[in-house]
Amino acid sequence: MRLRNRRSSRNVIDRRRSGGRARGGGSGRAAGAGGLGLLAVVVIGYFLGVDLTPLLNNPGGVPQQQTQTRGTGPLSAEEQQAGEFASRVLATTEDVWAEVYPASFGAPYDPPTLVLFSGATQSGCGGAQAATGPFYCPADERAYLDTAFFAYMSRQLGAGGDFAAAYVIAHEVAHHVQNELGILAEANRIRASSSQTQSNRISVMLELQADCFSGVWASRLGDILEPGDLDEALNAARRIGDDYLQTRGGGVARPHTFTHGTSEQRARWFTIGYQTGDPNQCDTFAADRL
């Protein structure tokens, strides 16, 4: 990604040292129509929608020390770079959705705040640790990210590259777009009276739509994109498919338990968003084929 000389977002809160330090963002807004019940939809404990907690018991899992809050000293150069990268990527999502959202949905776009943390933090949806991965909390309309996950993506999931990391942020912002549209609230209402199988299917629809919205964002980046960026995003999408993660350690894929889509589905819906550039083409709930 060509982010040099690109603006940084003001909607970032950096908590990577105890006591936290904020740059813009302000305090979290009250829960919208979705409320705390949506935690089951955009689940904390998921990395881009995939449960990683089983990996904690594996040698290749997230290091145990990552679940502890880090010290109060200055941020390392690597941490500073990761924070600035996240802020600039967030700014690109603001620019894109500020244009696309009104044109597509007839209303102004209200961007989320991104909270950077190390080890553990609190959100409007409860506590979270690094092992739970990035997540979006509709209760406070904030996305949460431990930037150490960028290294985890590359080393453990084989999803390296700056655009793969940017896709992480764009995907969480896409959940915010769903929240703004009322999709999360409606999905949660239906899930409350559904069987587990149907609830899982609705969750898959939500995640695939977020992947498609991420593709729409990517389609509007213009000269920010570099050769190979799209391949990095598609590789990341495949590496977080339910089937891939369930079988990567020698396990067996269990389709009835899928809650976020297969590798093929996630890559394909990202591609749909990228090729059309139209969020209205991301209606996974009405699609004949997921």
Query: What integer pLDDT is reported at residue 157 of this predicted model?
Result: 87
2 within some domain:
no
* 8 Å CB contact between 199 and 255: no
DSSP 289: -
Query: What integer pLDDT is reported at residue 213 of this predicted model?
Result: 98
* 8 Å CB contact between 279 and 212: yes
Backbone angles phi, psi at 146, to 5 degrees: -90, 115
55 within some domain:
yes
Q: Domain tally for the chain?
A: 1
Type and span of the H or E element at 218: helix 196-219
The pTM of this model reads 0.83
180 within some domain:
yes
62 within some domain:
yes
5 within some domain:
no
- Per-residue tokens: 195: 């069987």
- Which residue type occupies 39? L
48 within some domain:
yes
> Where are any strands of DSSP class E within the chain?
12-15, 21-23, 46-47, 50-51, 113-117, 120-123, 126-129, 135-137, 142-146
Query: What integer pLDDT is reported at residue 72 of this predicted model?
Result: 61
- Residues spanned by the domain of 31: 12-282
* 8 Å CB contact between 169 and 93: yes
289 within some domain:
no
143 within some domain:
yes
Exposed, middle or buried by CB within 10 Å (0-12, 13-18, 19+), for 61? Answer: middle
- Per-residue tokens: 84: 């600035």
Tens-digit pLDDT profile for the chain (290 aa)?
Answer: 999 999 999 999 999 975 443 344 443 333 332 322 333 333 333 434 433 333 333 333 333 333 334 456 788 888 999 999 999 999 999 999 999 999 999 999 999 999 999 989 999 999 888 777 899 999 999 999 998 888 888 888 899 999 999 999 999 999 999 999 999 999 989 999 999 999 999 999 999 999 999 999 999 999 999 999 999 999 999 998 999 989 987 888 999 899 899 999 999 999 999 999 999 999 999 999 99
